[in-house]
Amino acid sequence: MTVPDELEAYAASIGPDPDSVLEEMDTHAEAIGFPTVGPAVGGWLYMLTKLVDAERIFEFGSGFGYSAYWFARALPEHGEIVLTEVDADELEEAETYLDRGGFADLATFELGDAIETIERYDDPFDVALIDNEKERYVEAFRSVREQIPSGGIVVADNITAGPFDFETVRAAVAGEPVENASARGIADYLAHVEEDPAFETSLLPLGEGVAISRRR
């Protein structure tokens, strides 16, 4: 299930305005059929970064830099965002877009598997975005969990839609058997974070659904 286009546009109109680079990124995503979080969720990524006074952000899966661009707009001058991507061309696009927006100095661009990449980082991250393979969401959460401080958040995309429809993921979350491995991965992730006593989780029903887990 995705939010109706009219409501999505309404939410985006209330949130922070995209700049010209983001507008170009939206056009590019539509032209190539790339599933970004979209401006409504992007505005929330910006706001969440501000609300937790985030200085360091880690992304599990960055594509061509759309979500990272929204995050970067909210970071302080001394902030840092780590982008990870297995596709070299997409990561190069991300670097180009963030450079054009004036944010390249805040960004570290890591080519390769995100879960292997996080092992090279020891310092805390105030925000982590999980948007890699759905079957590996639990693995991603475990790999960054100890680096999220009290008050920090983990954001996971594709909670209500993605490489599956809403009914499939709803059934998986309800414990019904489903064949779609991505839907099962989302269900496993939600069960995992909800059972973790150190985190509290809620759903943001915009875009393709975003789960926000805050460390107590």
pLDDT at residue 181, rounded to an integer: 97
Confidence grade of residue 150 (pLDDT, cut at 50, 70, 90): very high
Q: How many domains does the chain have?
A: 1
Confidence grade of residue 2 (pLDDT, cut at 50, 70, 90): low
Q: What does the alpha-carbon distance between residue 43 and residue 204 come to, in Å, rounded to a whole number?
A: 12
Q: 48 pLDDT exceeds 60?
A: yes
Please give the full DSSP string across 65-113, using - where no structure is assigned. SHHHHHHHHHS-TT-EEEEEES-HHHHHHHHHHHHHTT-GGGEEEEES-
| Section 187-208 average pLDDT | 96
Q: 139 pLDDT exceeds 60?
A: yes
Confidence grade of residue 203 (pLDDT, cut at 50, 70, 90): very high
Burial of 53 (0-12, 13-18, 19+ CB in 10 A): exposed
**Domain CATH code at residue 34:** 3.40.50.150
Range name among 1-10, 83-92, 169-178 with the lowest pLDDT average: 1-10
The average confidence (pLDDT) of the chain is: 95
pLDDT at residue 173, rounded to an integer: 95
Q: 20 pLDDT exceeds 70?
A: yes
Contacts of 129 (CB under 8 A, 6+ apart): 45, 57, 58, 59, 60, 61, 67, 71, 154, 155, 156, 157
pLDDT at residue 7, rounded to an integer: 79
Confidence grade of residue 4 (pLDDT, cut at 50, 70, 90): confident
Q: What is the DSSP letter of 59?
A: E
- β-pair partners for 56: 80
- Among 102, 110, 96, 53, which Cα is nearest to 73's? 102
Q: Quote the domain boundaries for residue 35.
A: 5-215
pLDDT at residue 84, rounded to an integer: 98
pLDDT at residue 1, rounded to an integer: 57
pLDDT at residue 160, rounded to an integer: 95
| Interval 81-124: pLDDT, tens | 999 999 999 999 999 999 999 999 999 999 999 999 999 999 99
Q: What does the alpha-carbon distance between residue 68 and residue 143 come to, in Å, rounded to a whole number?
A: 20
| Section 151-164 average pLDDT | 96
Q: 175 pLDDT exceeds 60?
A: yes
Q: 152 pLDDT exceeds 90?
A: yes
